[in-house]
Amino acid sequence: MFHIHGEWKIEVHDNIVIQWFSGCWNEEAAIAYVKEFQAKTTPLKGTNWAIISLFEDWELGVPEIEKHIETHCEWFKANGCIKDCHIYSPSAAKEMQLERLIPHTDAFYERQVFTHNEDAVSWLASHGFFVDPLYVKQIEKK
């Protein structure tokens, strides 16, 4: 077992999960993150909810994280997540790994990628999920 490499923050704001990621992730980080995410979002189960994921400071992950992230994505879709926003500056490497791991839009779930927090917040608001863009920005700074 290795030490955790990679950082994250998860905050639940009403029916929106806002999360920030940093560093290069190893398998231990993915396992710990999934456990924390499920604990914090369990109260949302049975409702419709959304995720905002801030990937600007994330530096990819080792291949061993993939099985944990795929299972994690199945879990959140099965438990009410219907909208999902990824926010990061254009990056072919990030896009390649995230596109391979994260589910694509289907009849019950929609994911969009944005380069600015405000655009993601506006998109979510157009679907009935409301959060102040300044609150999203604060999570990056904490």
5's tokens: 């490499």
Mean pLDDT in consecutive groups of 10 residues from the start of the chain, 142 residues: 92 97 97 98 97 96 95 96 96 89 88 96 98 90 64
* Model confidence, pTM: 0.94
Phi and psi at 106, nearest 5°, equal -140, -165
Q: What is the C-alpha separation between 7 and 4, in angstroms, rounded?
A: 8
